[in-house]
Amino acid sequence: MHEEEQGSQDAIIQKIQMHPKGVMLWSKKMLSLFYQRCRDDIVYLDATASIIQKGKGRSAPFYVYELVVRHPSKGSSPVPVATYVTNDHTTASVSFFLASFVTDLIRQHGLRIQTRPVMFICDGSIVLLQSLSYNFCGVSLQELLNRYYNIVTGQAPEDSIRLPILHRCLSHVMKNAKDLCKKHAPKHYHLAMHTFGAMAQATTIEELEEIIVSAAVVFSRSHSGQKVDKHFKNLQLIMTQGGRTDIEDSSIVELDFMNDVGVTSFQHHFERVIKQEEGDKDGEPNMYLSATFIPALTKFFIPQAALWTGVLLELLSRQPHTGHHGEKSVGP
């Protein structure tokens, strides 16, 4: 069937692999649709795990990866423009899929495709984030996060804003947050979740700083005095003003949060900011003390702050090809 399709305008099967097992599917029509949609709308990289369960003596389960764009007609279902079925969930495997897709895009539409995509959203898997970063931004994920930091702090050239924006699906971020808060702030789980929700909605580095500093004082200081009281009230005010007091987490299934992207400029920045804020040195024991909450947040979430907060999303309006960019991080 693959041989029969080759050379056809409507050919869908592009590659068949034996080691690891896999098949890549897209057509010239889908390449054109991606090219049209990616310049002013969100592209999703979706991963569905274990569509074929591993049996005794059989190979690993198969995964389905899809690049998805929203349909040009409002109200119509999203359109998968490229599909990859494989039993290899690694950065190398997914990168090969995306690189093959980009190669065909360049053949059909030229090199400009490498700077055209505006925004990608995925579930937050390091495999997906690294693969998108390498193939659509041209750098490692860690380097991309450092470039994002320079952009949001005003240290980057104006044309850096043209970098595609990688963003994590909010529902998956909150699953990770639930796991973090249950493990590291169990006695003050709801306060920790609302604090995380406020961070996720921050739209500037300064706003994020304010929330993180207040959270660090409230959750990390051993004594409770005027400073803990001041920062606790500040968190309450931020949540109230932003309408962030109604997180409904009963439907959120916690998901392991330990996605380590390594140290980035975001982590260095917020570690400095936290250290500069002194806490109360005497007083009653701090009832909100959750000693491991801020260290875990700083190691596993802050390094990738640009991917799950709104600090980059406001920059979309500066790009010359704006389309449907009024929204926060959502799924397809």
Please give the mean pLDDT across all residues of the chain. Answer: 85
Q: Which two tokens stand for residue 29?
A: 């029509």
Write the pLDDT tens digit of every residue in 27-40: 999 999 999 998 88
pLDDT higher at 214 or 87 = 214
Per-residue confidence band for 113, with pLDDT thresholds at 50, 70 and 90 = low
Residues in the chain: 332
Nearest-angstrom CA–CA distance, 169 and 175 = 10
Percent of the chain at pLDDT > 90 equals: 57
CA distances from 328 to 28, 281, 293, 313 (A): 31, 40, 26, 7
pLDDT at 52 exceeding the cut of 70: no
pLDDT at 80 exceeding the cut of 50: yes
pTM of the model: 0.86
Nearest-angstrom CA–CA distance, 281 and 2 = 72
